Amino acid sequence: MREIDEAWIEEAVSAYRRIEERQAEFRRSLADIEVSVRSPDGLIEVVVAGEGGVRNVAVVGALRNQSAAEINRSIQAALHAAKDGAEWARRRLHQDIFGEYPSLSDLGRADPGARDTGRRDTGGRDLEGGRR
């Protein structure tokens, strides 16, 4: 029969609650973040939320006899830039909120500072030497 380590269980529950609180903070913060980007020609501006939803698309530059195809290219470029901007904002926010937590790939290693090469043969041996 196993002994139950009450202190370990309490610490695990506490750690889980801290992570849940940070996840809730992350979700709330995503809703508040907006990223504004423009097309390379400066014609179109897109405002996107941190979670990726487009909040506004506006023509901010002067229309000077651009064809529909040119305007479409500007819109597409701004939308792609907005997607990239939202991804950057999410990564940055995630780093700010969860930065001190180890990544999931680090949790299974005996030495969290060790670099995982990801190179193994089919026998489970790390090709850099040693057995995992």
Q: Is the pLDDT of residue 94 over 80?
A: yes
Q: What is the pLDDT of residue 6?
A: 85
Q: Is the pLDDT of residue 72 over 90?
A: yes
Tens-digit pLDDT profile for residues 10-65:
888 888 898 899 999 998 998 889 999 999 999 999 999 988 899 999 999 998 89
Provide the CATH topology of domain 6-99.
Answer: Ybab; Chain: A; (3.30.1310)
**pTM reported for the whole predicted model:** 0.62
Beta bridge partners of 37: 46
Mean pLDDT, to the nearest integer, of 73-99?
A: 92
Helix (H) or strand (E) holding 35: strand 34-38
- C-alpha 94: how far from its chain's center? 6
Q: What are the boundaries of each domain within the chain?
A: 6-99
Q: What is the pLDDT of residue 74?
A: 95
